[in-house]
Structure 1
Amino acid sequence: MATSTWRQRLAASIDPARVRDRVENVNDGILAISGFSEGLSGGGEIANLWSPIVLMAAFAGALSVACVVLSAELANRDAEQLVAAEEQRRSALAPEEQIAELAAHYEGRGVSPATARQVAEELNASDSLGAQLDIDGFDERTTIGGAVSTAVRAALAFLLGASVPILISVATPGVWRDEYTVVAVAAALAVTSVVLARLGHTRIWQTLLRSVFIGLAALGSSYLVGAALL
């Protein structure tokens, strides 16, 4: 009973959408840096610099991911602030219209007109702005601190994925490095595929095979491009 309760609390505290985003960042780190590492394998003259180059690529990739995520989060915050200002202006000018808009929203979702009106009035009385932002698609207030935190978590997730090819580049002999990389990438993608399938309530084997196949195809393409250039 205690174990079941602990699992229920853990499941309730997890936001599946955020976890999916971070798992995708992990996969990006696995594939991007593994592909880069495989591409380098065509150049024997840089064998002694292999590990430092892969490590620098991982940090560069993590920084890029952090910048992209931070930019997206701040853009979302700007849009939210514009909508909030407009909703506050409309609430001051025509509060009854705001209640009617809320009621219409819940009616459109299948709530009876009387119940929708009651819900709209209660939400408007407790948190008018929050209710309006929610129906406009802003279900969570974005702060600068939150945006930075999300960007940092995305970068760390990328580095977690990138650690797979980094460890392979450090721990394996050069003659077997490509083979070990392929096996490690397949294993890592299998783990993340299971996580994604459980969160998305999809078939595990279908998700696993699709992710591993696409990942290895991307890895093979990177190797061919790198071999052609080097």
Structure 2
Amino acid sequence: MPHLHSAAERHRVTRIGWLRAAVLGANDGIVSTASLIVGVASASAARGDILIAGAAGLVAGAMSMAAGEYVSVSSQADTEKADLGRERAELAATPEAELRELTNIYVQRGLSDELAATVAEELTAGDALAAHARDELGLSTATAARPIQAALASAATFTAGAALPLAIVVMVPLGRLVAAEAIAALLFLALLGALGAVAGSAPVGRAVIRVTFWGAIAMLVTAIIGRLVGAVV
């Protein structure tokens, strides 16, 4: 007996929108704030100056992430709406041509001509626009652009990510701050990579290596620049 999917079954694709924004926000929060703190600390700054720089980076970064995600995802949503508008107009103007187009799509996916025509006719009778949006344009409710959701997820996760390296500044002696910040940030990034991979059912090892490698590069570059600037100033 074939396995029947329950209505409550969840697939990972439904998480694409918020998961991408959340992982990106937290990753940027950790990397940018830790790099900023390492750079400022490498310039032999006082603890108060480091905290101010880190806090300013947290606020500015969270606002920037929210604005960037909103603008980017809004552009995607506008494109999707425009495509749906054109498809709606084509369905009203040339329904027979659109039915043939949908039939050809199913034929190309492996259905026989007769079955493809039957499927296309039944889906068109049910909801023609939904059928074309899904099978011609590749749009679905699971992957639809949601600007506000993406902006809030990015801002919140950036703040959470940035708060972690900022807390290290308070807890660690100033003389050990650069090393402690770098190690803690890499551990935070490794944990984030693992959580993101598990949530998206992706390989954990590859995700951990990816985020920690680029985080290490970012902190190394800012540490070198901070030390050079500190020596000059």
User: How does the TM-score come out when normalised to structure 1?
Assistant: 0.84
In 2, the alpha carbon distance for the partners of 1:153 and 1:199 equals 15
1:59 aligns with 2:95: no
In 2, the alpha carbon distance for the partners of 1:77 and 1:205 equals 33
Cα distance per residue 1:61-84 (max 9 Å; x no partner) = 111111111111211121122212
Give the superposition deviation at 1:226.
2.1
Give the superposition deviation at 1:59.
1.3
In 2, the alpha carbon distance for the partners of 1:50 and 1:105 equals 59
The answer to whether the 8 A contact 1:38-1:223 is kept is yes
Give the superposition deviation at 1:24.
2.5
The 5 Å alignment of 1:67-86 reads: 67-86=67-86
CA distance change for structure 1 residues 222 and 83 in 2, over 3 Å: closer, same or farther? same
The 5 Å alignment of 1:194-209 reads: 194-199=194-199, 201-209=201-209
Q: CA RMSD in A?
A: 2.4
Give the superposition deviation at 1:195.
2.6
Give the superposition deviation at 1:199.
4.8
More helix by share: 1
The 5 Å alignment of 1:70-109 reads: 70-109=70-109
User: How does the TM-score come out when normalised to structure 2?
Assistant: 0.83
CA distance change for structure 1 residues 160 and 109 in 2, over 3 Å: closer, same or farther? farther
Give structure 1 stretches of 5+ with no counterpart. Answer: 1-8
1:15 aligns with 2:14: yes
The answer to whether the 8 A contact 1:70-1:148 is kept is yes
Give the superposition deviation at 1:114.
2.6
Q: Identity rate of aligned residues, in percent? A: 25
The answer to whether the 8 A contact 1:20-1:199 is kept is no
The 5 Å alignment of 1:68-217 reads: 68-134=68-134, 135-140=136-141, 146-199=146-199, 201-217=201-217
Q: Give aligned pairs, total.
A: 220
Letter in 2 for 1:31: V
Letter in 1 for 2:118: Q
Runs of 4+ in 1 over 6 A off after TM superposition: none
Cα distance per residue 1:198-217 (max 9 Å; x no partner) = 35555433432343233212
Give the superposition deviation at 1:32.
1.0
